[in-house]
Structure 1
Amino acid sequence: MIINKTLNCGIRLVMEEIPYVKSVSVGIWVKAGSVDETDKNSGISHFIEHMLFKGTDNRSAKQIAEDVDKIGGQINAFTGKEATCYYIKTLATNIDKAAEILIDMFMNSKFDKIEMEKEKRVVCEEIKMIEDSPEDDAHDIISELVFKGNPLAKSIIGTPSSLKGITQNSIKRYLSEEYTRDNIVISISGSFDQKQVCELFDSKLMKLNPEKAAKSYELTQYQPSYKVKVKDIEQSHLCMGLRGLSIDDERYYALALLNNIMGGSMSSRLFQNIREEKGLAYSVYSMASSFSISGYFNIYAGVSHDKVKDAILGIKEELRLLKQNGVTAEELQTAKEQLKGNYIFSLENVNGRMFSIGKNILLLNKVYTPEETIQNIESVTMEDIKAVSELITDVAKYSGVLIGRNKIDMKKVIQS
């Protein structure tokens, strides 16, 4: 059973009790990410996530790690475009200690100047690591192009230049504005006592400001953009993307299923055409990413330098066939089974369930039961797929990114 309530302090709490397991996952979600940043403080959400592990008034960074180990726990965090999450998975008997560690990090982090400078160097190495991974780099760039001029275009990790400008004062200001009680969700899944959980958190976060100032995002009109990066690498990395759907769009599940048909599995059209039939790529897939204000559809392929144009032609061919012939009933049924399977598999551990209910409450202010999600997948019709296909079949609307040895005219190849 999933229970959603608001604590006396104003923080939302969502709990899913699974009495037959012996573990529990505790997460603190903040509706703050790169969309909330400016060009000047780009990357500050991600940097704060790092710094919360670097020591509090009560614990050093080493002591945080040791105290998590002492309770048989696993601690981690991640930052996205719209949210940041800190979480611990541990034995059910140690939920009180796990909560205390998270609260200590959340409320008492020191943001020591020496540690900040060291961590800036660490994040700069992380930036270099992404740039040395052309596939990751291509995905970041296509997102920037598709959302050009909008908050969703901002880099999560920031730049070496923006990191230099982050100070203790800018961090404190950001925390006071974004880490507010109405902007936080506590998500818990596993074996626990509901009354105990409420008592663990209710009075501990009162020092946070009560409300986040209202923000509104107006998306600028989308125009296709193109970027080519010439690098001395062994393989070219290609992305083609365009605007998609927000997370609360009624067509969300139809696009998710169409994505599965096009490039979400080994039996998908892109995989079978580009890899199996033409032998152009080892890795080829599509993805549909959704956020609270918009989303995007993206096709990726890693190919030989001399096969880039052939790969783009193969992708265009599949989009043309989709537009002309649609999908078959068998393809839709297979996609439904795959999507249901992936969803259920993700819920077979307490972290997966904590992520699901926490994100839904944070971004949608509601949570779907597994039964409701399965029903949403099952209810998609052939007509729904046909309608949503119109979003992704116009090749002229695709932005393009290429990272490889050769410089080509991406606009000309995609639109010709």
Structure 2
Amino acid sequence: MSAPASATPPPVIGVTPGGLRVVTEAIPGVRSVALGIWIGVGSRFERDEEAGISHFLEHMLFKGTPTHSPEQIAQAFDGLGGEVNAATGKDYTVLYCRVLDELLDQAMPLLTDMAQRPSFLDLDQEREVVLEEIAMYEDDPQDQIHDLASRAVFPDQALGRPVIGTREVIGSVPESGVRAYHAGHYTAPNMVVAAAGNITHERVMELSERLLGDLPSVASEGVFEAASAGAPTLVVKEKATEQYHLCLGGPGLSRNDPRRHAQSVLDTVLGGSMSSRLFQEVREKRGLAYSVGSYVVGYADAGQVGVYLGTREDNLGVCCDIIATELRRIGSEPLPAEELRRAKDHLKGRLVLGMESSGTRMNRIGRSVLTGTEMLTVDEIVERVEAVTVDDVQALAHEHWAPEAMSVAAIGPTGELIRDAVRRLSPELAAA
């Protein structure tokens, strides 16, 4: 399994005179290039009065530059046969595209122009678009429930706020505020250019120096509040929905914690795969839910673990019984050797298959350099996954996955029914 990965040259990192970091990974045998411009700012860097401005600014990157109208940007990428998009997270924003290798010289000038010279035309019109996006988000409990869980785990801090922001801020933030936010964060030392595919590092460095040489070379003004997990709490939102949506959440590992590979194994066993315990017990054996599973996420100084369930009223109580049983079992009973082996093989397979995509590789190297995450080779990751022991998994289950130590967020028609179900997870939490 490791031979194809070893045949790929390792990523190369350079820095322009202005402090812009450039990371590339050549992939032999492909005809595409995935290009990303990563900016070290996301919702976690926002003050309360700025909630959602990082995401709003991401939208404005597509609304034209001094030399390209929004329609011309769309037409240009369509004409290149490429893909272009952007995303905002809690600790980064990324603007990216994927094109044929021979079209990089046409795509990169357009992408860099969008990132550094947005015209902020039609800001009020795009404000309405984002307000509609917020309304759509609030109508989707399967999306909103995860943010409610984050708010419970990290209360009264930006890390627990939705990336999308609030109506109040988006509805009132002036153009001058968005411009100032762009000027303060979109600076060379706070940005990374990442490219993967049929490229050379020298070519991407030359283009980056020429196209992004006018970026301010001052360090970003961005700072974020240290994460502080709160005590377990129950957050209930009564809403007329067909299903009850429930999410358990608790503090987890930071993105560079050496135990993160054991955490991935635990997550895979618990609810991160089709053969996982929650998927099998809740969906396959009993037909109690369509969607059930677990997840983990890591930040610079903290992390979060979670379990999600969407089910009808009649099934909510028994589903909570099963979740509680499986969470306690994974912490009290050693994993059978066959189950540990299957989880490791699943993780290795996903890793290697994902590395066949230039987009996946660009995301991996760009995020790693921007966030200071350890950049391991495929062989190194496989080695660390293989080193995970039964005791490692059990220790993490004790530390982070005990149901009585986790917060619960729930959305559904009847709050009292939710509390009755949560009593099966944690009587103390339901009584609070």
TM-score range (shorter-chain normalised) is over 0.9
Indicate the RMSD between aligned Cα atoms, in angstroms: 1.6
**Could you tell me the percent identity over the aligned residues?**
36
1:156 aligns with 2:167: no
Between stretches 210-219 and 63-72, larger displacement belongs to 210-219
- State the match for 2:258 in structure 1: 250
1:263 aligns with 2:274: no
- State the match for 1:328 in structure 2: 336
- State the match for 1:193 in structure 2: 200
1:396 CA drift (Å): 1.7
- State the match for 1:389 in structure 2: 397
Between stretches 11-20 and 305-314, larger displacement belongs to 305-314
Give the 3-state SS of the residue equivalent to 1:414 in structure 2: coil
1:121 CA drift (Å): 1.1
Q: Relative to 1, partners in 2 of residues 1:192 and 1:397: Cα closer, same or farther, differing over 3 Å?
A: same
Identify the match of residue 288 of structure 1 among 274, 296, 302.
296
* Aligned residues of 2:147 and 2:161 also touching (Cα < 8 A): no
- State the match for 1:399 in structure 2: 407
One-letter amino acid matched to 1:185: V
**Structure 1 alignment gaps of length 5 or more:** none
* Aligned residues of 2:39 and 2:93 also touching (Cα < 8 A): yes
- State the match for 1:178 in structure 2: 185
* Count of paired positions: 414
**Within 1, Cα distance between the matches of 2:123 and 2:222?**
30
Between stretches 172-181 and 34-43, larger displacement belongs to 172-181
Cα deviation 1:111-158 (Å, max 9, x = unaligned):
02xx11111111111112222221111112111211113331122101
1:350 aligns with 2:361: no
Give the 3-state SS of the residue equivalent to 1:391 in structure 2: helix
Identify the match of residue 172 of structure 2 among 141, 145, 165.
165
**Within 2, Cα distance between the matches of 1:51 and 1:396?**
43
Cα deviation 1:232-254 (Å, max 9, x = unaligned):
22111111111111100011010
* Aligned residues of 1:19 and 1:192 also touching (Cα < 8 A): no
Matches within 5 A, 1:364-375: 364=372, 366-375=374-383
1:204 aligns with 2:211: yes
**Within 1, Cα distance between the matches of 2:333 and 2:424?**
24
Between stretches 12-21 and 200-209, larger displacement belongs to 200-209
* Aligned residues of 1:217 and 1:293 also touching (Cα < 8 A): no
1:221 CA drift (Å): 4.3
Cα deviation 1:57-84 (Å, max 9, x = unaligned):
0010000011112222111110000011
1:169 CA drift (Å): 1.2
**Within 2, Cα distance between the matches of 1:366 and 1:13?**
16
1:331 CA drift (Å): 1.1
1:414 CA drift (Å): 2.9
Matches within 5 A, 1:6-21: 6-21=15-30
* Aligned residues of 2:101 and 2:199 also touching (Cα < 8 A): yes
Identify the match of residue 311 of structure 2 among 299, 303, 323.
303
**Within 2, Cα distance between the matches of 1:367 and 1:307?**
43
* Aligned residues of 2:154 and 2:229 also touching (Cα < 8 A): no
**Within 1, Cα distance between the matches of 2:185 and 2:334?**
45
- State the match for 1:312 in structure 2: 320
* Aligned residues of 2:55 and 2:164 also touching (Cα < 8 A): yes
Matches within 5 A, 1:18-97: 18-97=27-106
Matches within 5 A, 1:107-146: 107-112=116-121, 115-146=122-153
* Aligned residues of 1:49 and 1:79 also touching (Cα < 8 A): yes
1:307 CA drift (Å): 2.2
- State the match for 1:222 in structure 2: 230
**Within 2, Cα distance between the matches of 1:239 and 1:393?**
13
1:276 CA drift (Å): 2.5
1:86 CA drift (Å): 0.4
**Within 2, Cα distance between the matches of 1:214 and 1:279?**
47
TM-score by length of 1: 0.96
* Aligned residues of 2:246 and 2:308 also touching (Cα < 8 A): yes
Identify the match of residue 108 of structure 2 among 99, 112, 115.
99
TM-score by length of 2: 0.92
1:380 aligns with 2:380: no
